[in-house]
A = this chain, B = another copy of it.
Amino acid sequence: MTEDRRARKKRETRQSLRLAALRLVDAHGLEHVTVEMIAESADVSPRTFFNYFPTKEDALVGPGPEAAADVARFCLDRPDGEPAAAVLRALVLDRTAAFLGHSEELDLQKRVLATNPGLYAGFHAGFQEIERALRLEMGRRSGLDPERDLYPRLLAATGGAAIRSAMELSRAGDRRTLSLIVEEAFDLLEAGLAAAPPARRAAPSRRRRTAAIAKTA
């Protein structure tokens, strides 16, 4: 009984509210959708909405309650000796792939985000909660203190930066798949920040390089 009736109902209501919010905003635009409408459409009282989400935006782009736990679980499942940076790469790729999937919720969320860039702030803010779980794991893997050492923190934050950059680039018109872009990002990060990829017009270097596929004339 991992989930009794109560818990199930709660989860359903939450999901119901989230979907209602996404559908309405997708249809009418963020500013024309009120919490009242969302609650109405999910068939609960407006007051109840706030028992589930602290703000309207959270219903749209907040991390699910499982997010942090998912991350932790993923890390735990990785081979024991694997270094922190490798786990991070795998994790980010995994999350990215998940985001690339299809479902009504995901598709709506992508459209809503695209239509309403202002929501990206809240979306990324949600990462922070996840970064905390991540930081702990990065500490464990690297034998450092997740609280007092810089490296685990920096790894976690950099993971977020990589995702963000990849998503923005994708939004800016890069037609490659998100996963590919993320791979490039990690190639760059692992090569070291100072190692710039060759400039646009330069001949491709002799190393295999996921990067720098010209898509301009």
Contacts and interface: CB of A to CB of B under 8 A. Distances in A.
A7 interface: no
Interface of A: 83-86, 88, 121, 125, 128, 142-145, 147-151, 153-155, 157-158, 160-162, 164-166, 168-169, 172-174, 181, 184-186, 188-194, 196-197, 199-202, 211-212, 215-216
B188 A143 contact: no
Copies of this chain per assembly: 2
Given A150-B181, A172-B147, A196 B158 contact: no
19 contacts: A83-B196, A88-B193, A121-B128, A142-B197, A142-B199, A143-B199, A143-B200, A144-B196, A144-B199, A145-B200, A147-B173, A149-B169, A149-B212, A150-B166, A153-B165, A154-B185, A154-B188, A157-B162, A157-B165
A152 B158 CA distance: 15
Contact of A151 (B155, B190, B196, B215): B196
A200 B190 CA distance: 22
Given A186-B193, A216-B145, A161 B154 contact: yes
